[in-house]
Structure 1
C-alpha cells in the first residue's frame, strides 16, 4: 500500500510539474498586450489599446510611427502565419515540412512569382511614401523577431526566424493572386475531356460558359452626377492540408440612401476564403492626425485590403476573370531544344532553381520557358502528355503596382481619389465595392483586361501556334465593368458574371447565379434597410435555385416505384423552402441526391479521377442547375452499359433511390433523423493540427453550422461518396458598416484575432461566428479607452546616460 501511495505521489508530482511547465511556457510565449516596450526608429510614443477581442487600436503622432507599431503588434499575433505565407511563392515550404512539399515548391518557383517580386522591388523608388511606410511596418516586424518570444510553431518545426523584407510583401500578395486563378483547375481538364471524349461532350456543356445567367449590371456615371487534367490537384491538396488560405468567392453589396431606413449608405462584405487557423484577416485600427483607418490586413502586408473610416468603406469580392492561358508548344523535330514561334524556331530558355529540404539534401531542378511562360510538364505530375504545355499569367508579365493600389485606396479622401488608385491593380481580378459618407455607392471590376476575339475559346489549352497573340491589346480601365451611383440605388457582387461595357461578355470562371439571385430578390423590394436587417441578410441560408432544381428533378420521378416512406421523403423535399438550417432534413437529402445525380451523369464518361477533379471546378457548380433543367444531353447515357441507352428520367430516379438508401444506412429510415447538423461541420485547421495528438490544441472546432454551397452564408464543401460535408471555405469575415452611425459598425472573425495558441484571443469569436453573431468595430477613442482590456505603450529607444 505504501508503495502504491508513493507511486501515486510521484505521479501527482509529475502532473503538477507538467502543469507548471505548461503555465510557464504559456506565459513566456504569449503576446504582450500591456506594459511598455522600446522600439527603434520611433520618433514619438505610440499607444496601443487592445479591446475585448484583442484588436489593437494604434494611436500615433505620425504615420510612420503608427505603421512601425502596427508591424510589431501584427507580428506578435501572427508571425507564424507571416512566415508560412511568404514561403509559398519563394519555394520555401519543403524547408519547413520536408520532402512531401518539394513538388509544390517546384510549381510555385516555376510560376515565377518570386522572380516577379524581385523585379518589382528592384524598380521601386525607396523614397515614395508608400514604400517608406511599408519599410516602417517591416521594421516593426523585424524588431519583434529580434526581441519578442518565438512562436511555438518555430520550435515544433525547427526553423529559424529571419527578418522580413519588401520582397516578402510582394510574394505574399503574389500567392494570394494565384489562389484566385481557376484556369489551373479548369482549362487542362476541359481540354482533356474534349480530346478523349470528343467536342460534342464539351459543346453539350457550353451553356455554362455564360448563357442564361444573371449578370451584374453596369452603370456609367454621367458627367452631371456627383462623382490535360486538373493542373493543380496535388498542389492545391498540399496547401489545403497545411490549412493555407485560398480565395474562393465572396459577397458584397452597398445600399444607397434611398434603400436605407436612416437615409445613409449601408455597406456589407464577406470575402469567401478557405478556413484556416489563424484566420486570414488581422483587424487593426490606426489613428494619427493625418491618417485614420480600420482595416483587415493580410499577414505581412502593410496596407489593408478591406477597410473603412468615417468617410468611406471598401471591400472586395473575386472578379473571377480569365487571366491565365495555356499553350501547347511545337518542338523542333530535328532539335528538341527549340520550339516554334510565329516567325522562327527559338531555343527554350532553361531556368535552374534550388530547394532547401528539411532533413534531406537540397533539390536542384530545372524547367524550360517559352515566350508564353514556363513549361509545366515535369513540374506537375498530372501532365502525362509529351506535348510541352506553357502557362501564361497576367500577374507575372506586367508591372506590379499593387502596393501603390493598396496605399491609394486606404489613403483616399473621396471617391475620385479612390477610383484613381484602382487601375494599379493588374491581377488578381477583384470586384471592389465602395460606399461613403457623401452618399456614393460604387462597384468596379479591377484587372488588366485585354481583347479576346470571338473565335478564341479561352477555356481550352491553345493548340500549337494558335490562341491569343503574344502582344495583347489591353483595354483602358474605363472599359472594365463598373457601376457608380446607379438609378436602382445599390451595387452588388456575388462572383457572378458582369455585363460587358460594350455588349461583349468578358471570359471568366464565374460562379453560378444562385447567390446573386437571392441577393437581388432580397434587396430589390425593400427600401428601409438598417444594420440589423443587413446582418440578418448576411446570415441568410436560403437558395431559390436549389428549390428550382428540385422542381426540375422531382417532376421526372416515377412515384409508383417508390415505397410509402420514399414518397413521404419526396413530398417533404418538394415543399422545402430551400433553407439550410441545422434541423433541416431536406437539405441533407438534397445534397445526397445531387451528388448521385452528378455521379451517375458524369462519372461513367470521365472515370473516378477526372470526375472528382471536375467536381472541384466553378464550371461544374454552374452545371447543376443547367443539367437539372436540360431535357436532352449526350451525358445521360451510361457508356458502361453499351447494350442500352439510359435516359434522364432513369438517372434522376436511381439517384434519388441511392440517396435515400445511403441516408437510411447512416441514420435509419426516419427522415427526421437526417438533420443537416449531423453531416455539415466546420473545423478551423492549423498546419500543426495535422498531428493527431496536437489537433485539439491547435485546431478550432468542429462546429455544426447552418448554410451550404452557394447561399449567401456560403458554407461550402466538396461532394464525395461519404455524404458527410466538412466545410472548406466560407465568409472570412462579415462586415456591416452603417454611415448613419459609423462608430457602431459590426464585424466578426471566424476564430479570433490572434494566431498564437497561448493567447486568450486565439478562438474567442469562434462560437459567435458559428452562430451568426457579430461584435462592434470600435472607432471612438473615449469608448475604446473606457472599455480597453489592456494598454501597450511603445516608446522610442532612450539614449544611454553617459
Structure 2
C-alpha cells in the first residue's frame, strides 16, 4: 500500500509540475508581446526622430519634426498596444473573418462582402487631400514598423491572441484606415432595421392606427400619413417569421437600440463660472475589452491635440487642442433607404429602372474558410446600391416574390472624404473653421459639438440625401426602386445640415434627441434616438445659473431616470396603497412591498438600491404583456422598453389603451389589470434569480457592465482573465447611460455606454479630464489592460494636459524612433 501511495504521489507531483510548466510556457510566450515603452529603435519610413512619451496613464504624447512623422508615431503606438484589435477590425470590414474562425463567421463575411465597404475604402484614398494622403501613408508606415519589429525580434507574434488564431498579418495600407471609419459607420447605423421593422409591424397589426403607438414619432409636429406597406405590395403575406441575424460577438451589425448614442453639452462664457467655455462629451458604443477608444496626444505643426482615437485611424475623433474642443454624438440622420427592385420575369439577371430593364452589375467574390472549402459569392449592384440577401435583418419577410432588395446609403461612396474632414478638424483654430473643415464629412453622420475660447456651436456633419418631395414612403419604408420619385437625387448642400452657433441661453446639448423639426425632405430624420435623457439634462443645466467643469462631470455621471419618474405614476396610479396588508409570504404581500418601495423612490438608478431592479423588471414585463398578443413572434424584436409607447397606452392617446385588452381572451382587461399582472410577473422573475427579499436586492447585480473580449471572452477559465465585469449604476434612459442587453437570461446586463468621457474647460485647459472604460493596452497581461476600468466605474477621471514637461515628469517610458 505504501508503494502504491508513493507512486500516486509521484504521478500527482509530476502532473502538477507539468501543469506549472505549461502555464509558465504560456505566460512566457504571451508576455513576449508586451511592449517595451522605454527603448530606442531604428525604423524605416521616418524623415527625422520621433519621441513617444507615455504619461502615468500610459497615454502616448507624440513629438516629431513634421506632422507625417507624428502620424508615424501614432501608428507605431496603436500597433504596440492594440495590434490584435486593429487586425480584427480590418479583417471584419474585409469580410475575411472566416479565414481565421471558420464557419461560425461565414454569414458575417457574406454580408460585409455584399456591402463592399473595403473596396470602396481603397477607392476613396485618391479622393483625400494631400495632407491626409501623407498622414495615411505615414501612419501605415508606423504600423508596419511595429510589425517589422515583432518579426525581427520574435516578440510573441505581437499579441497573445495570435498564438491561438495564427494567420498572416498583411502590411497596413492607407485604405485600411478609411475602411475602419466605414466599419464604424456600419456599427452606428440603424435606419435600415427601422424600415424593416416598421414594414413588418404594419403587416402584423390589424388596426393601422396602432403603428404610431408601438413605433411612435418623437414629440413635435406630425407628418403626413404614410401608405400601409401592404398597399404598396399587396401580395405580401401578413406573418412575422424571424430569421435571426448572426449574434456572434465578432458581428459588427448592431442590434436594434444599440446602433449609436452619446451625450455632449457646451456652455458659453456667460454660463461658465470660470469665464471660459466648457465642453463635455461621452460617446456611447458597445462595450468590449479592450475598449473601442484609445487616448493619445499629437504635437502637430498647428499645436497639440489630445483626446480619443480609434486604433487603426490616425485622428483624434473627440478631444481638444489649446484653442478648440470637439465632441461627437450620433445624429440619427436618415442616410439609408431600402428599395424593392423588380426582376425581369424573362431574365432574372435584369431589374426594372425608370428607363426599362437593366442588367445588374456583378462581380464574383471568394470567401476562404478555415477547415472548409471556399465559397464563391456573386455580388450584385443596382443603380440604387448593393442587393442584399433575404436573411439580412429579415428582408425576406417583406420582399415580394419576383423582387430583391437593394440599399442606398451615403457610406457606400467610393469618394468618401470623411478622413480628410477629420484631419482638417484637428487643425482648426476656432468654431467657424471647424464647421467649414467638416463640410467634406460623408458618414457616419454625427452631431459635432464645438467650443473655442469664446464661442459654442453644434453642427450636424455628414451627407444628407436629397429626396423627391413626392417620395412614396418618405424613406420610412422600403419603396419601389423603379419609380424616379423614390430615388435619391444626390445630396443636399452642407448649409442644409442643422447648425446652432452662440445660442442666446448660452448652453447647447444633445442626448440623441430630436434637434430640429423641418418638413420632408429636409427633415433630417423621422426616427431619432433617446427621447428621455434630454429632459433630465435640461433640468440639470437650468438648475444652475453658471456651470463648472465639476457640474458638467456631475451631469455626465447622473443616474436619475426621468423615464422612471414619469411612467411609474401612470402605470401604478390605481395600485398604490390599496387594500389591507396581505399575509406574509403571499404574492399580494410581495406586490405591496414592491409598491411601497417604489412609492418612495426618486428614480435614481443606483447600483446599490433594489428599486431600479423592481422598476426595470416591471416595465419590461408590462411591455411584453401589452404587445405579445398583437404582434406574436414579432414581439421578440422589441427587446427594450419603448417609453413613449407605455405613455401613449396609459394616457390613452388616440385610443392607445386598446393594447391593454388581450384579444384572445373573453374578459376585457384594463390597463390597471395589465400593470398588476406584469408586476406579479416581474416579482416571480426576480425571486427565481435574486431571491424574494426585495429590500436586499441590488440593481448592480443585474446591471453589470460587460467589457468582454470579443474572441477569448467565451473561452472557459480564460474568460476570467480577459473579461472585465463591474457592477454599475445608470440604465437605458439615464445620462450615465448603461444600455441593457434586453436578451434573456440576463436582460439587464450593461452592454453599451460611454467608452470615453471627456470634459474640457477653456478657462484652464490643463484642468480638463478624460477616461476610458478599460485601459490603453489590449494585452490582458499588461497592467494597462484594465487600470482605468475601476476609475471609470467610480466616476473618476485622468487629467488631460498638453504640458509636455508634465507628461515627461511622470512618464512610464519614453520611446525614441530613429530613421534607419
Matched ranges for 1:786-801 at <5 A: 786-797=809-820
Aligned to 2:540: 522
**Aligned equivalents of 1:96 and 1:606: distance in 2?**
40
Aligned to 1:356: 368
1:234 maps onto 2:256 in alignment: no
Residue number among 285, 308, 313 corresponding to 1:296 in the alignment: 308
Aligned to 2:585: none
Q: Is the 8 A contact 1:243 1:277 kept in 2?
A: no
Following TM superposition, by how much is the alpha carbon of 1:114 offset from its aligned partner in structure 2, in angstroms? 2.1
Residue number among 429, 446, 462 corresponding to 2:461 in the alignment: 446
1:74 maps onto 2:92 in alignment: no
- TM-score norm. by structure 1 comes to 0.91
1:592 maps onto 2:614 in alignment: no
**Aligned equivalents of 1:662 and 1:409: distance in 2?**
50
Q: Is the 8 A contact 1:268 1:534 kept in 2?
A: yes
Q: Is the 8 A contact 1:48 1:791 kept in 2?
A: yes
**Aligned equivalents of 1:705 and 1:241: distance in 2?**
25
1:171 maps onto 2:193 in alignment: no
Matched ranges for 1:542-553 at <5 A: 542-553=560-571
- Structure 2: which 5+ runs fail to align? 223-238, 583-587
**Aligned equivalents of 1:176 and 1:766: distance in 2?**
23
Q: Is the 8 A contact 2:96 2:368 kept in 1?
A: yes
Following TM superposition, by how much is the alpha carbon of 1:202 offset from its aligned partner in structure 2, in angstroms? 4.9
Aligned to 2:504: 487
1:51 maps onto 2:55 in alignment: yes
**Aligned equivalents of 1:623 and 1:637: distance in 2?**
12
Query: CA offsets, 1:620-655, max 9 Å, x none?
Result: 464344434335327515556253443323222211
Aligned to 2:697: 674
Aligned to 1:258: 270
1:534 maps onto 2:552 in alignment: yes
SS state of the match for residue 245, structure 2? helix
Aligned to 1:190: 198
**Aligned equivalents of 2:105 and 2:215: distance in 1?**
38
Residue 546 to residue 9, structure 1, CA distance change in 2 (3 Å): closer
Bigger Cα displacement from structure 2, 584-593 vs 775-784: 775-784
1:623 maps onto 2:651 in alignment: no
Bigger Cα displacement from structure 2, 362-371 vs 446-455: 446-455
Aligned to 2:351: 339
1:574 maps onto 2:599 in alignment: yes
Aligned to 2:328: 316
Matched ranges for 1:401-420 at <5 A: 401-420=417-436
Residue 796 to residue 621, structure 1, CA distance change in 2 (3 Å): farther
SS state of the match for residue 307, structure 1? strand
Following TM superposition, by how much is the alpha carbon of 1:582 offset from its aligned partner in structure 2, in angstroms? 1.6
Following TM superposition, by how much is the alpha carbon of 1:239 offset from its aligned partner in structure 2, in angstroms? 3.5
Bigger Cα displacement from structure 2, 357-366 vs 1-10: 1-10
Bigger Cα displacement from structure 2, 192-201 vs 591-600: 192-201
1:734 maps onto 2:749 in alignment: no
Residue 742 to residue 276, structure 1, CA distance change in 2 (3 Å): same
SS state of the match for residue 387, structure 2? coil
Query: CA offsets, 1:76-132, max 9 Å, x none?
Result: 10111111111222211111211121111111111121232232135456xx11111
**Aligned equivalents of 1:206 and 1:641: distance in 2?**
19
**Aligned equivalents of 2:451 and 2:39: distance in 1?**
38
**Aligned equivalents of 1:495 and 1:124: distance in 2?**
30
Aligned to 2:771: 748
Aligned to 1:433: 449
SS state of the match for residue 729, structure 1? strand
Q: Is the 8 A contact 2:590 2:683 kept in 1?
A: no
Following TM superposition, by how much is the alpha carbon of 1:463 offset from its aligned partner in structure 2, in angstroms? 4.0
Following TM superposition, by how much is the alpha carbon of 1:351 offset from its aligned partner in structure 2, in angstroms? 3.1
Residue 213 to residue 143, structure 1, CA distance change in 2 (3 Å): farther
SS state of the match for residue 52, structure 1? coil
**Aligned equivalents of 1:440 and 1:377: distance in 2?**
48
**Aligned equivalents of 1:398 and 1:501: distance in 2?**
30
Query: CA offsets, 1:381-422, max 9 Å, x none?
Result: 832543322211121147311111011001112222211111
**Aligned equivalents of 2:474 and 2:596: distance in 1?**
43
Q: Is the 8 A contact 1:339 1:345 kept in 2?
A: yes
1:662 maps onto 2:685 in alignment: yes
Following TM superposition, by how much is the alpha carbon of 1:557 offset from its aligned partner in structure 2, in angstroms? 3.2
Following TM superposition, by how much is the alpha carbon of 1:481 offset from its aligned partner in structure 2, in angstroms? 1.2
Aligned to 1:497: 514
Following TM superposition, by how much is the alpha carbon of 1:465 offset from its aligned partner in structure 2, in angstroms? 4.1
Q: Is the 8 A contact 1:554 1:574 kept in 2?
A: no
What value does the CA root-mean-square deviation take over the aligned residues? 2.8
Following TM superposition, by how much is the alpha carbon of 1:498 offset from its aligned partner in structure 2, in angstroms? 1.1
Residue 494 to residue 467, structure 1, CA distance change in 2 (3 Å): farther
Residue number among 636, 644, 651 corresponding to 1:612 in the alignment: 636
Residue number among 216, 237, 247 corresponding to 1:208 in the alignment: 216
Aligned to 1:146: 148
**Aligned equivalents of 2:107 and 2:186: distance in 1?**
16
Following TM superposition, by how much is the alpha carbon of 1:534 offset from its aligned partner in structure 2, in angstroms? 1.7
Residue number among 33, 42, 46 corresponding to 1:29 in the alignment: 33
**Aligned equivalents of 1:298 and 1:775: distance in 2?**
19
Aligned to 1:462: 479
Residues paired across the two proteins, number: 777
**Aligned equivalents of 1:253 and 1:232: distance in 2?**
40
Residue 119 to residue 62, structure 1, CA distance change in 2 (3 Å): closer
- TM-score norm. by structure 2 comes to 0.89
Aligned to 2:168: 160
**Aligned equivalents of 1:380 and 1:207: distance in 2?**
21
**Aligned equivalents of 1:515 and 1:696: distance in 2?**
34
Following TM superposition, by how much is the alpha carbon of 1:492 offset from its aligned partner in structure 2, in angstroms? 0.7
Following TM superposition, by how much is the alpha carbon of 1:473 offset from its aligned partner in structure 2, in angstroms? 5.3
Aligned to 2:286: 274
- Structure 1: which 5+ runs fail to align? 215-227, 798-802
